[in-house]
Structure 1
């Protein structure tokens, strides 16, 4: 294994293609990804917190469906895939869709124009976004003879950011209009994959695609995003040794500190493997120190929209319970604060019994993030109470 100063950690990178071409360190998940693409249902949805590797996963799927075999040399998928078919891919990154109807339509118009050019689709003045999406899918299929893979990353971003604003219903209407096409074009589609943080069931992605498979809680995909303790020891030994030396710790102490700060996520009660936040872990290993990287990346910005009185209810959230019918299937707009806190990574699964999930704060980084929010609010509340006494 090369020394740490010869290795390149993918700090902040979300492109599998860039990671592989520029020889950054890659934690090999390609066996899980191959099974998702070939052994699971056609329509799939994965919920994970922000900065948890969803975009790298989507980029890996895109490279796989486009048959870019050279990017996968030496990885586990090479023992599984024999054909390497170059299929057409339509990929939408909805984090670029803004927070209002105009921004959302503008992004989709721009994205569709690129695909219309790529697949030589005739554009007709006055065509709706839905008609254009349909024409792109059909044209890609007819020109290649291969079914299309459709990848929609961070599908819920415009809906989250428009929540509690007059633009939310208008954004929801755009989703209903455009994505109803996915069911109608089933015969042209090889694979449809959505990622997100929170679930908005009133849009057509879930109401029309009633056969969509929510793999967010399925045991085989518990560690498809994030990094496990065994993967840390397999892939990051030089970084662990360097961090230990830099801080005067043993290597075992270093792993334990990293675990305390960034580990503790569980995504399936049938597979309770501990999962580290990959964004924070890789930043900590690159810097050689423990810091709150996740909150600094903007992870707390949406909390006030979905959670009231956090400073009063924090202890209750840390020892809360939700029925499986709520946590696995409910809409975030009606599922309560605990559901949003789970989906966005502030709470995680601590246990399960007879249809009830028991939730708690996963690690020190998240606890510090929450405390940084609630302590000033508590101080203001106390000062306000004192002023009335």
Structure 2
């Protein structure tokens, strides 16, 4: 950016070794437009916030108002936007107009950076204003990118790749990189060697395993990547692990998953919440409206948004929750789907009751949580109860590792296995049954307990272990327990 000529920010850093990078350093005027947070409630408010956003952008180059390199007409158009709020011009041609003025003044082509280009489109999903927003974005980007002789290059970022026919019609020189692309894949975040170097430089090399558990797990093309925002915050906070990225993301996307849940999606959530994986179809061009026609489209959106990892296999794409940070986002969002204050207390009580072998308290807590969150229409398999319980407890696990039916022990897979990794708490194994009739609850809970014993689900656990057989008839749970000395 020419604005920063003479700065020493990169002196002595590795980027100085890149000759091509240094040739571009402070060599061109730069336009940066962020489209996140525009008001999409109605057409009037959208137009108002767009105009203000572009007017503020023009205001960064106030020197153009008196530039001798501009014609009288160009200066008049600049004043029309900054001083008179687009009396004679429209916002859709503003980026092309601004790039022409900057090239005329500086004598160099312009670099255009557009952040969150899809944000107003996705946020207006399901509203009447979306068509107006799509039309505006098409005109804005087409004018800025097609036939713009003042443009050196443009970089556009967003969560989802909106179909070319919707936004980029008429543009033939687009080069797209997303989480499936191999080009530049190692630059979307930090690689493992970079994380090790950073922790060593900050004198926290012993924190690598913890850092990997919390922030690793992303796959871009052929590269394994750590979340860069979280890593930088983790190091700046003296390697205190917490979900830093969750603070910056709205997490509405997981709410959308819950709102559009079918039996199939609940089965997938069950596998994911228990640390497992699932094979799904994947599309790199999808928008929220696709979810109504095909609920499985949510997985593509979630992977593109960073909530899932997606890895190509011969049978489709293998998805999984990347790391502990995202597990906590899942847990927090599931809580927000119900009354968060009351539910937080109930979940804490449930976790305490599980550790204290208090069957009555466990049944009461689970019953209240289910009645407050789940529809009877989806309570048609053990998987639904399993994924719900795992999701509820994930953020309260503390010194426990929680597995769904993904960890084989003995002669099979327990529905929920909670292994105490530190402290004096007991290990916990839970087997679930869905009863056809309320009178079968006690029998089915007893059968679940017997299954834990017979199949040896506690194999490999050290110390005290609590077994729970829990049966459900609709929203009514029944709990039986016993203790093993290990």
Same fold, judged at TM 0.5 (above) = yes
Which of 369, 382, 388 pairs up with 2:329?
A: 369
CA drift of 1:263 comes to 0.5
Aligned residue in 1 for 2:318: 358
Match of 2:107 among 145, 155, 160: 145
Report the count of equivalent residues: 309
Q: Which moved more, 1:188-197 or 1:356-365?
A: 356-365
Q: 1:106 aligns with which of 51, 55, 68?
A: 51
Matching of residues 149-298 of structure 1 within 5 Å: 149-201=111-163, 205-216=167-178, 217-237=180-200, 239=202, 241=204, 251-252=205-206, 254-268=207-221, 271-272=222-223, 274-287=224-237, 288-298=239-249
Q: State the match for 1:72 in structure 2.
A: 10
Q: CA deviation at 1:298?
A: 3.6
Alignment match of 2:35 (pick from 94, 99, 107)? 94
In our comparison, the structure showing a higher alpha carbon Rg is: 2
Show CA shifts across 1:134-192 (max 9, x none): 22122222222211110001222222222223332222222122221123333221110
Which secondary structure state, in structure 2, belongs to the residue aligned with residue 142 of structure 1?
helix
Q: What 5-or-longer segments of structure 2 have no aligned partner?
A: 66-74, 81-86, 292-296, 339-368, 377-473, 477-486
- TM-score when scaled to structure 1? 0.69
Distance of 2:332 and 2:322 partners within structure 1: 16
Report deviation, 1:118.
Answer: 4.0
Query: What are the superposed Cα offsets for residues 28-62 of structure 1, whole Å, 9 maximum, x if unpaired?
Result: xxxxxxxxxxxxxxxxxxxxxxxxxxxxxxxxxx4
With 257-266 and 330-339 compared, the bigger mean Cα shift is at 330-339
The whole-number CA distance in structure 1 between the counterparts of 2:183 and 2:298 is: 28
What is the TM-score normalised by the length of structure 2? 0.56
Cα distance in structure 2, aligned partners of 1:103 and 1:176: 18
Flag the 1:237–1:144 CA change in 2: closer, same or farther, 3 A: same
Q: Secondary structure at the match of 2:312?
A: strand
- How far apart are the structure 2 equivalents of 1:352 and 1:232? 25
Whether the aligned pair in 2 keeps the contact of 1:153 and 1:195 (CA below 8 Å) is yes
Is 1:315 matched up with 2:276? no
Q: Which runs of 5+ in 1 are unaligned?
A: 1-61, 242-250
Structure 1 residues 238, 105: CA separation in 2 closer, same or farther (over 3 Å shift)?
A: closer
Higher RCO (CA-CA < 8 Å; seq separation 6+): 1
C-alpha contact 1:116 1:136 (8 A) present in aligned 2: no
Deviation string 1:238-260 (CA, Å, 9 cap, x unpaired) is: 5453xxxxxxxxx44x2111101
- 3-state SS of the aligned residue for 1:227? coil
